Structure 1
């Protein structure tokens, strides 16, 4: 009998189970798991003891500990090596071009299939023993583009400081719909504060709300284009270049939607950016691409500039240049 996926399974270790291995505990307490599948589930990052993700099947449990199991981890697929695309690498950091739909870091359910895990496996395959990979910043799972990782601890400290001090410049390109049907101005900004929600995502907050954090986003209009999904999908779409002064969760998406230009493919903030009856040509991913990255080298201080290849949906047509 196969285990049933769905809500996480939670239970406490009882006194009689004191000293059991985590693998054997799962075999006893989770229906449908044999020793091999229990070990695979743990290695995939689908099991927590108290609040700590544990990935060693032989770990011993203690009475009273809380165990949380995400069976979805059994279905997680590793990221194919050819999808780990290096834009730059040196002894201090690497820059990867993240595919749309791939998380940067482990999700709640599993560590398998994320970009940071794939980078670790890539380095291990090259002979690096116990590689260090530091995450400097993140990018929404549905988005694509440049992601910066450190591969030395000292570089991590320097680059995190640059990120905190807003000295790392990230340029984005989005494709957005105009809810009003009107073209955007050549350049415009949004400074609406954002409130991070407990259930995930953000909402626009009032200036007097103590939960609201300042956020500033600048947009520059590049071109007006027909909808990717065809004329029946609605009005025109717009290519916009975006720069952030702050780096809040979902900032670009929330600000773009707040201004009436939801990002195409955004099912959280889009309010209809993807019509329910959209034809197969409609994008199945978020039309948000991180395409430029500027910062100082963590060791030499030399200015660094990187660009990724723009996806087809993000390119300005020759007639608009």
Structure 2
């Protein structure tokens, strides 16, 4: 590797020194290492690359519908009316869409918002078309649930890796580089297009963009949503470059129930990543708000102390170093999300000074990774390391576990899927080539 390239890489590393004095990290965090789950994929070849995670990847019950899964009729709910007074025991103010959603069960919040925007909701006799309108105790609310909106996404015959499916939901292992839903610039070839070819989805879920005034964005893990996006059945999302597990609702009741679990933070979400460098300390909780980066509008940023000024929103992530690789040049890190902000893991990792390997947007550049690894791997492996890192064209991030309560049976379900070959290959090489 040319010396000048290494010199440039060394200069970049200075931008990402661990800001240990700034981190808001809890010193004591309960153990949350990856544990066995009921619906796990068999290991195939991935367990050899991830021996410390191999307890996850054993053969277990097959990913088929449980016999206890009840088939509930799909209800349209169009024309359903609500005429109630906001309870006097309610404290303070509450958003109109949130209050109606709490009173009308089995109807998605997106559909409630659509009803409001169509002028089908009045407060004290006055039509209100703003979903974030605040209601107070004593307000009389009249609402008529809108008709189902037709889907605008087209079905496409795209191969899908379906981990589990029943009458109400499916769990999909999304490959890297696949966009989750149609949006400007990506009208087809998305996960949603493929799912629509595989099965029908609730037409109510052609969502408009959710306002973010006071509520956490329920439908976001890692990807920003365009205002004209179509999201049939999608409860949460993964960034285009992120691989791993997504749960998709097949009816409106399931969608509303799952969305509520995300809102209440009862969904279990575990990610693994490769970082440039090793997080310090090796176990902790990052509680730093995330907002739009004022210097780069396409990315987010962790902004300490900005919550009260409205620049960012509460974001908390727990992390644990599973394994130090390449003599400290990289680490395999487990992440658990307490909130679901856009690019949350990527922004928090950058804030800690250990951006994800392959994440060019958040500082995990090829030059930075190669500079860290070059001095720590054996000479015989340097050329292969150079090739693998140079080919890595996405953040090394994989959604490895998802757990939730089944919306119809109440059964606690948990799924896991091994990382894809590109991530497994580079971990295997870093593991065996690191110097003592």
Q: When the two structures are superposed, what TM-score results if normalisation uses the length of structure 2?
A: 0.48
Matched, 1:102 2:102: no
Relative to structure 1, the CA distance from residue 277 to residue 216 in structure 2 (aligned partners, 3 Å threshold; closer, same or farther) is: closer
> Whole-Å Cα distance in 2 between the matches of residues 164 and 192 of structure 1?
19
> Whole-Å Cα distance in 1 between the matches of residues 410 and 369 of structure 2?
51
> Whole-Å Cα distance in 2 between the matches of residues 161 and 277 of structure 1?
39
Does the Cα contact within 8 Å between 1:123 and 1:131 map onto a contact in 2? no
- Stretch of structure 1 that moved more, 108-117 or 134-143: 108-117
Does the Cα contact within 8 Å between 2:272 and 2:400 map onto a contact in 1? yes
Relative to structure 1, the CA distance from residue 86 to residue 267 in structure 2 (aligned partners, 3 Å threshold; closer, same or farther) is: same
Relative to structure 1, the CA distance from residue 130 to residue 267 in structure 2 (aligned partners, 3 Å threshold; closer, same or farther) is: same
Residue 343 of structure 2 corresponds to which residue in structure 1? 250
Matched, 1:300 2:399: no
Instruction: Decide which structure has greater strand share.
Output: 1
Q: Secondary structure at the match of 2:173?
A: strand
Q: 2:394 aligns with which of 285, 288, 305?
A: 285
Q: Secondary structure at the match of 1:275?
A: helix
User: Cα offset for 1:246?
Assistant: 0.5
Residue 161 of structure 1 corresponds to which residue in structure 2? 260
Relative to structure 1, the CA distance from residue 183 to residue 247 in structure 2 (aligned partners, 3 Å threshold; closer, same or farther) is: closer
Q: Secondary structure at the match of 1:134?
A: coil
What per-residue deviation string (whole Å, max 9, x for no partner) do you get for residues 76-120 of structure 1?
xx97633x1000001111111001011111132132111111111
Does the Cα contact within 8 Å between 2:279 and 2:352 map onto a contact in 1? no
> Whole-Å Cα distance in 2 between the matches of residues 85 and 277 of structure 1?
31
Count of residues in correspondence between the two structures: 228
Q: Secondary structure at the match of 1:170?
A: strand
Instruction: Decide which structure has greater helix share.
Output: 2
What per-residue deviation string (whole Å, max 9, x for no partner) do you get for residues 17-43 of structure 1?
xxxxxxxxxxxxxxxxxxxxxxxxxxx
Q: Where does 1:79-94 land on structure 2 (aligned, <5 Å)?
A: 81-82=158-159, 84-94=160-170
Residue 289 of structure 2 corresponds to which residue in structure 1? 193
Q: When the two structures are superposed, what TM-score results if normalisation uses the length of structure 1?
A: 0.64
Residue 366 of structure 2 corresponds to which residue in structure 1? 274
Residue 68 of structure 2 corresponds to which residue in structure 1? none
Residue 320 of structure 2 corresponds to which residue in structure 1? 220
> Whole-Å Cα distance in 1 between the matches of residues 342 and 184 of structure 2?
17
> Whole-Å Cα distance in 2 between the matches of residues 305 and 277 of structure 1?
34
Relative to structure 1, the CA distance from residue 260 to residue 197 in structure 2 (aligned partners, 3 Å threshold; closer, same or farther) is: closer
User: Cα offset for 1:310?
Assistant: 2.2
User: Cα offset for 1:273?
Assistant: 2.9
User: Cα offset for 1:121?
Assistant: 1.7
> Whole-Å Cα distance in 2 between the matches of residues 275 and 185 of structure 1?
25
Residue 19 of structure 1 corresponds to which residue in structure 2? none
Q: Where does 1:1-321 land on structure 2 (aligned, <5 Å)?
A: 81-82=158-159, 84-123=160-199, 133-178=232-277, 184-196=280-292, 199-208=297-306, 209-226=309-326, 236-270=329-363, 272-275=364-367, 279-282=386-389, 283-312=392-421, 313-314=423-424
> Whole-Å Cα distance in 2 between the matches of residues 277 and 255 of structure 1?
18
User: Cα offset for 1:174?
Assistant: 0.4
User: Cα offset for 1:303?
Assistant: 0.3
What per-residue deviation string (whole Å, max 9, x for no partner) do you get for residues 205-225 of structure 1?
232431211111111011122
Does the Cα contact within 8 Å between 2:276 and 2:368 map onto a contact in 1? no
